[in-house]
A and B are shown apart, each in its own frame.
Chain A
Amino acid sequence: MCVYCDLWGDGMIWYLNPKNYPRHMYTLPKKDAAPKAAGGEADPAGFINAERALVDALEKGPEEFEATLKQLRDGMDLMQGSVGGWMGQAVPLRDAEKMVEIASPKGLIACICRHHMLGREERTMPEMTCMGLGVGMLKWERWPERYKGGVYWVSTDEAKEWLRDLDKKGFMHSLMMFGPRFIGGICNCDYPVCDALAMRLDFGFNMLKGHHVAVVDYDLCNGCGICAQRCQFGALKMNVTIDKANIDQMRCFGCGLCETGCPREAITLVERAKLPALQEVW
């Protein structure tokens, strides 16, 4: 079972549980509360330095690397209220659409990872690839350096349309947690310019796999290869021998990009929980 469903799911998938959206933004912070972190208030170089420490540890040795990874996971738990350093989770388009129905307000913002990695600014609405959820977003004006280009508030329908557009382009969706039990954003990621995705695939923390895995129907697949271009995880490849798509479900994150890209509806998402050997593969 997904660790967050176990903790905060109340019997459903945790990110579809409305209790995980408002958090303590509605109340005043307590004096003895754990150090909080949100968007712009965190140390600007904090995450970059953490990543750097991890890469430096690769040069030192296996014990040092494991110790740095543990320190990073524990630090993330302390700062962000995550469990085991898992701050995000892959979400298929259909669930992302349900999430924007639950959360309010919703604001399109510039992606911080693309800002760091490529120097992108995303100053206008059509360029924006990140969405902030919940009342925390109302404080954006305090940190204009983080929210370059401001916040573009959207309705539920606009948010869905925006998600579908990005899905068509080939971005995978993920949620981001900012504090314990608080889902604060939907990211649209691609490797390697997404910090969370790069950290997960290269070092094994930050983004959990989603609640689904993709399955190919060989009778419907015509081997066009569009899905193989869309997979960000190296899980989907063309099986050249039979000229069909093949999915390694152990690597599949369940983001559903192959499903939404398939012109013949040959790929479907099935629940991870229904496949016994995949239940604990996160």
Chain B
Amino acid sequence: MVDKSQLKIPRPIPVDLTKLPLKLPKIEIDYSKCTVPFWCKKCLEACPQVVLQVYCKQLVKLRESDPREPGIYEIIPVRRDKCNVCNKCIDVCPEDAITITY
């Protein structure tokens, strides 16, 4: 193992700590309505700030998941710090699964 105490490790923090805590928009996704996000991905393409991310919940060895099978993929609002509450994702969502409160 590396002895980290002997090394000069850069540790920049670009976040202005004096401004924390921030007030961030709350984004909720109704997973009973949003079932096939990787097949739809309309909100991912619409979001100008790339707030939302999609990932595969069930990683199975030797098998590729079918994006049309419900419940395999899930959208998560990751970068809420960048959300400007433009509501474009809500407008494009065919299932009305997204709610944003600020």
Q: Contact residues of A with B, CB < 8 Å?
A: 1, 3, 6-7, 40, 44-45, 48, 51-52, 55, 58-62, 65-66, 69, 73, 83-84, 86, 115-119, 141-146, 148, 180, 192-193, 198, 201-204, 208, 280, 282
Across the interface, do B17 and A62 meet the contact criterion of CB distance under 8 Å?
A: yes
Chief secondary structure at chain B's binding surface: loop
Knowing A48-B78, A118-B44, A119-B41, the reply to whether A55 touches B13 (Cβ < 8 A) is no
Across the interface, do A83 and B2 meet the contact criterion of CB distance under 8 Å?
A: yes
What are 20 A-B interface contacts by the 8 Å CB criterion?
Answer: A3-B8, A45-B57, A48-B78, A51-B78, A51-B79, A55-B79, A58-B24, A59-B21, A60-B20, A66-B17, A116-B53, A117-B50, A117-B53, A118-B41, A118-B44, A141-B62, A144-B63, A202-B14, A204-B11, A204-B14
Across the interface, do B14 and A61 meet the contact criterion of CB distance under 8 Å?
A: no
Total residue contacts A-B, CB cutoff 8 A:
123
User: B80 to chain A: which residues have CB within 8 Å?
Assistant: 55
- Bound-complex Cα distance A60 to B50 (A): 22
- Bound-complex Cα distance A1 to B8 (A): 8
Across the interface, do A119 and B38 meet the contact criterion of CB distance under 8 Å?
A: yes
Nearest CB of chain B from residue A271's CB, rounded to whole Å: 17
- Bound-complex Cα distance A45 to B10 (A): 27
User: B63 to chain A: which residues have CB within 8 Å?
Assistant: 144-145
Across the interface, do A66 and B13 meet the contact criterion of CB distance under 8 Å?
A: yes
**Which one of B4, B11, B41, B64 lies within 8 Å of A145 (CB-CB)?**
B64
Q: Contact residues of B with A, CB < 8 Å?
A: 2, 4, 7-15, 17-18, 20-24, 37-38, 41, 44-45, 49-50, 53-57, 59-65, 76, 78-82
Across the interface, do B7 and A3 meet the contact criterion of CB distance under 8 Å?
A: yes
**Which one of B9, B14, B81 lies within 8 Å of A201 (CB-CB)?**
B14
Across the interface, do A83 and B14 meet the contact criterion of CB distance under 8 Å?
A: no
Across the interface, do A58 and B22 meet the contact criterion of CB distance under 8 Å?
A: yes
User: B78 to chain A: which residues have CB within 8 Å?
Assistant: 48, 51-52, 55
